[in-house]
Structure 1
Amino acid sequence: MLLNCTNLVAQIFPPTSYPQGYFRDPLDIPMRLAGNFGELRPNHYHMGFDIKTNARENLPVYAAADGYVGRIKIEPFGFGRAIYVVHPNGFTTVYAHLNAFNPALEKWVKDQQYQQESWKVFLELPANLFPVKKGDFLANSGNTGGSQAPHVHFEVRRTNGDVNLNPFLFGFPVDDAVPPQLQRLAVYDRTVSVYEQSPRLFPVRAISGSTYMPTPSVITVTSPVVSFAIGAYDTQTGSTNHNGIFESTLLVDEQPVVAFRMDNISYNDTRDLNAHIDYKTKFQGGPFLQFLTELPGYANAIYRRNKGNGAIDVSDGAVHTVSIVVKDAIGNTSTLNFKIQYSGTDPERPAPAGKKFYPQMMDGFESADCEFYIGERCLYDSVHIRYNKSANTNTEVVSSIHTIGAPYIPLRDSFLIRLQPTRPLTDAERSRTVMQWFVGTKKEVQKVQWQGNWASARFRDFGSFQLVVDTEPPVIVPIGFTDGSNMSKAVRIAFTVKDNLEEFKKVRVLLDGKWLRFTNDKGKTFLYSFDEKCMGGQHELKIHAEDEAGNVTEKTYNFTR
């Protein structure tokens, strides 16, 4: 059965060819992975390798092949500090979460930051400025940006179109003789939205080698149309990390129906992970479940169809054989086999509350003081969107609380919300009004646009929304210094910014009237390490902080260096 399945899967995914041995390992230690391409992460696919650095920082990172430094990115989250190397064979490699770049590159980047008066930069470099040879030193490894522990995030992209490719396809030296591990099977009723049900979950067990079977092996369903999802992970020889699987194919009655493969994904589409997983189950604290069906709103999907989208008609009542074949990028394979049969009894269900919205259609809801509009690219599956209005007693809140949809329904694009305040606002209040989204303890604010008495903003999640007049400026908190400090023995200046709505928009620092570069890695502490920009003597440090509502705080500190 397994050999037959493997041959049938090849009908969906034809062979591909990528240069082998062209790229070297960017580190000088054995390549061990903390994360791989296509691994499931909150709201995105993981888009490369996370290469372990033995829990250390400042390991040398080398160019994977000849080329030139084409881009530099520095940001508080995401990549942190990253280098993009463009290669003559049509590919680009990316190295992220770095510490210091090589000295020449570090100096050039610093000069650019001072010219732009911005620590956060995304720089395009000409081909002749920083050419590199394979094995040239690029930077030291680190833990900057969205990294949670020291490692190097490494990507291979197709330069034309900037599409990420699975680095495993290029033959990097990762020892892997371990097939993917299957954990569970999920079965869905496809006569209703995936967001208006909870799947039936079945544990699976290995029965021989890498062949698995659920309990029970024959599954009886009450829906005439069903689909499936799996819980699975991959790992490598000698590793305990649960990494992502590369490929899975659904076969029904020995015919391939649909499959997905983690071989190339654009950053424009990485949020579509939310259409590949059972987002509701994961949001509610359950496991990652990967659909073996393509939802109707999933554009540019990782799926390939052979006979339909993965929703299986079992209304004939016959016993159907099902196989789910799971592979890693090396070719190690596991298979889940079971049977499924419709019982002929489709239970009645109460109609869900709310208005039904559909993918690839624009529609809206309007009431006296709340309107929202969901665009064509917002939804992955049809679903009823509930609306509820409740009173608010907070004096800073100038609208009712408007709850739209459920937070376990994912959105690909932002949707438009328009609210009216519950009382007339002065011009000063309108200029300081923000719309706040909240779910549980999570919050986000956006500055509103006014059209008459309607305040509008866009958000990318369902939840509760309200208008807040924010007149409280952010607070600047110096760390280890005060006005008049003698800092001759200090090695750096540090401060933080706090805001009552937990978000600030802009921070700018001047030293003796000139812009001074403070880093803000992970959006926490602002840091400046003393260098040639601050020599000995008396100095004036002026810190300007602004929040989303436009409230401004300025503090001036005099110090001696």
Structure 2
Amino acid sequence: MKGGTMITRLNYCFSLVLFLFFTLPARSQDKYPQHYFINPLDIPISLAGTFGEIRSNHFHTGLDIRTDSREGLPVHAAAAGYVCRINVSPYGYGHALYIRHPNGFVTVYGHLSRYNAQIAAYVKNKQYELQKFAVDLYPKPDEFTVNKGDTVAFSGSTGGAEGPHLHFEIRDDKTEDPLNPFLFDYSVADGIAPVIAGISFYPLNDSSDVNGSHNPVYMKTVIKANGYALSCPGGEVEACGCVGIGIRTYDLARGSENRNGPYSEVLTDGTDTLYYQRMDRLSFASIRYVNGHVDYAAFKKMHETFEHSFLQDNDKLDIYRKLTNRGIIRFSKGVVHHLKYAVSDFQGNCSTMQFDVRSATAPASIFHDTVKYRGTINWKKAFDYRYRGMAIHIPAGAVFGNLRFNCSAEADSQRTICPVYHVLNEYIPLNTSYTLKLAIPASLPDSLLRRAVVVQMEGSKISAVGGVYDSGSITAHPKTFGNFSVMLDLTRPIIKPVNIYKDKDMSRTAAIELQISDNLSGIAAYNAYIDGRWILMEFNPKKDIISYTFDNHVTSGRHHLKVVVADNVGNTNIYEADFTR
């Protein structure tokens, strides 16, 4: 990129930031103490993920700090305090640790491979006491006090991590809201401005259109001397009526190909700020509203993230700093709107994009929907509907705007025991789950009905939603719309030994490993016993492996292993083997 281009873009961004600083509440260094927290690792901070980055169904609530593709790096307490929570889960943060600090903040460390010796012993004792691998523990304030810099754990890739890294958060202790760690004077070496990869346009009612289309319009961008520009066939965008704008943008860091999230996004129309979002604070109570903040259909169909620079009716996110008319633009009377985006990372690197949209004097056409709908969902109210053995209840606030409702049914397939119901489609976002009740044949014996499970069917993919059977029907709580039916799960879970067999000598083996899986309803529970005594087996869902690392619970000699695995409808399988140690 030419130097003049960067200077032009930075000058514009600097002017915009000054304007927003003096017209909006700015972040306060008194509110977020500087130089209080230290780097939790011994290596410079390099990011694999940023605060506020958009993930599936949620925003990322911390920093993902790279560990050079290694596990086992010492993780240090970012400041003095005490361990207030320890969570062990096969999912999410995996092995996680929470430290409460006297200044009103809590730091969180996730995807750990293990805890330090003292904490690890405490956790293991609790796991044996509860006879559970997954535990959520809350030690007393005086049990594990730490000083700044103490080694509390070691980095890893447990839980939902796709590779080794440390997930690091700072939370407000009173509200539990995650805060952007960069507000606390953390920094990274970064001289790369965010990328603006695409722009989207959304006609918002039946008399709105963009370039004659009533559907969303997606355009790519090109880089020019003065910033990004639209790669637009015909060279012009024309719109009529109420239209929302969206942006596909991401941030790059030196030495990494990760597409991280930017810190702020601003859309202006001439001298007016239409939309300004900034990633300072998030709330777990509203985090699933991300599904309405993004173009959910594009996310699911094209695997691309377009963020709306306007608000849907039911949007309760706390990331918006300034809005004019909810970010919605009304195009009329041939007026040309001079629109400009400015996208920045926290280090102040900024990219801009200017584009004009001409107002059409009249809509190209009025959209007439010829589909016969069965009702309308008012997003503010609960919606109930019954149809051919299906009953649906959508709670108030579950959808992001008023929605025309439709459903249909087709005959049972060879695999299902009731019709396949089509409920809207999988590309419509939801903020929360709803209730789906499906009638199933009373002629089936109770022993089979107890093995019934609601499934979602999208093409050849079948996934279990769950459900509880009662009085001729099964009730489930899906989090998406789509195609649903009921299947019977009559197959026991599979237990496949990985490194053990009958009468094996395990003296030189560090652990016992078995692979467990289920064909439909999913694994509900597993337990393992050696010589009749429960043993702790960790579960790695990425590999479907359960493993017991030999310790003082097993002495030298001959032993008997028994593993019991149950699925979510009660099918059970048992694996047994003798071994020596």
TM-score of the two chains, using structure 1 as the length reference: 0.94
- Give the equivalent residue in structure 2 for 1:348: 366
Match of 1:515 among 523, 534, 551: 534
- Give the equivalent residue in structure 1 for 2:285: 268
For residues 381-414 of structure 1, give each alpha carbon's deviation from its aligned partner in whole angstroms, at most 9, with x where no partner exists.
Answer: 33333312112232x5211111211111121111
Do residues 15 (structure 1) and 59 (structure 2) align? no
Superposition map of 1:209-248 within 5 A = 211-216=227-232, 219-248=236-265
Determine helix, strand or coil for the equivalent of 2:538.
coil
- Give the equivalent residue in structure 2 for 1:63: 77
Determine helix, strand or coil for the equivalent of 1:268.
helix
Instruction: Tell me by how many angstroms 1:250 deviates.
Output: 2.0
Distance 2:204 2:25 in 1: 26
Superposition map of 1:303-314 within 5 A = 303-314=320-331
Any conservation in 1 of the 2:425–2:483 contact (CA below 8 Å)? no
Distance 1:556 1:505 in 2: 20
Determine helix, strand or coil for the equivalent of 2:182.
helix
Match of 1:330 among 347, 355, 368: 347
Match of 2:316 among 299, 304, 310: 299
Any conservation in 2 of the 1:141–1:150 contact (CA below 8 Å)? yes
Determine helix, strand or coil for the equivalent of 2:514.
strand
Distance 1:336 1:7 in 2: 19
Superposition map of 1:463-502 within 5 A = 463-501=482-520
Any conservation in 2 of the 1:436–1:446 contact (CA below 8 Å)? yes
Any conservation in 2 of the 1:387–1:405 contact (CA below 8 Å)? yes
One-letter code of the match for 1:213?
A: A
Distance 2:470 2:355 in 1: 58
- List gaps (5 residues or longer) in structure 2: 1-11
For residues 483-525 of structure 1, give each alpha carbon's deviation from its aligned partner in whole angstroms, at most 9, with x where no partner exists.
Answer: 3333233221111222221611111112222221000023510
More off after superposition, 133-142 vs 442-451: 442-451
Match of 2:467 among 428, 437, 448: 448
More off after superposition, 15-24 vs 94-103: 15-24
More off after superposition, 434-443 vs 281-290: 434-443
Do residues 172 (structure 1) and 186 (structure 2) align? yes
Match of 2:476 among 454, 457, 466: 457
Match of 2:409 among 372, 385, 389: 389
Distance 1:157 1:218 in 2: 47
Instruction: Tell me by how many angstroms 1:453 deviates.
Output: 2.5
Do residues 558 (structure 1) and 572 (structure 2) align? no
More off after superposition, 217-226 vs 515-524: 217-226
Determine helix, strand or coil for the equivalent of 2:477.
strand
Match of 1:416 among 422, 431, 435: 435
Instruction: Tell me by how many angstroms 1:27 deviates.
Output: 0.9
In structure 2, relative to structure 1, the CA distance for the partners of 1:16 and 1:316 (3 Å cut) is: farther
Instruction: Tell me by how many angstroms 1:301 deviates.
Output: 4.0
- Give the equivalent residue in structure 2 for 1:369: 389
Do residues 108 (structure 1) and 118 (structure 2) align? no
Determine helix, strand or coil for the equivalent of 2:444.
coil
Do residues 283 (structure 1) and 283 (structure 2) align? no
Instruction: Tell me by how many angstroms 1:5 deviates.
Output: 3.5
Determine helix, strand or coil for the equivalent of 2:240.
coil
Superposition map of 1:165-204 within 5 A = 165-191=179-205, 198-204=215-221
Instruction: Tell me by how many angstroms 1:219 deviates.
Output: 4.4
Distance 2:266 2:466 in 1: 45
Any conservation in 1 of the 2:442–2:472 contact (CA below 8 Å)? no
Distance 2:533 2:281 in 1: 45
- Root mean square deviation, CA, Å: 2.3
Any conservation in 2 of the 1:370–1:420 contact (CA below 8 Å)? yes
Match of 2:558 among 528, 538, 553: 538
- List gaps (5 residues or longer) in structure 1: none
More off after superposition, 143-152 vs 469-478: 469-478
- Give the equivalent residue in structure 1 for 2:5: none
- Give the equivalent residue in structure 2 for 1:98: 112
Distance 1:167 1:197 in 2: 42
Instruction: Tell me by how many angstroms 1:107 deviates.
Output: 0.8
More off after superposition, 101-110 vs 244-253: 244-253
In structure 2, relative to structure 1, the CA distance for the partners of 1:441 and 1:265 (3 Å cut) is: farther
One-letter code of the match for 1:30?
A: P
- Give the equivalent residue in structure 2 for 1:126: 140
One-letter code of the match for 1:214?
A: L
More off after superposition, 271-280 vs 296-305: 296-305
Instruction: Tell me by how many angstroms 1:9 deviates.
Output: 3.0
Any conservation in 2 of the 1:297–1:381 contact (CA below 8 Å)? yes
Count of residue correspondences:
558
In structure 2, relative to structure 1, the CA distance for the partners of 1:476 and 1:534 (3 Å cut) is: same
In structure 2, relative to structure 1, the CA distance for the partners of 1:499 and 1:215 (3 Å cut) is: closer
Instruction: Tell me by how many angstroms 1:283 deviates.
Output: 0.7
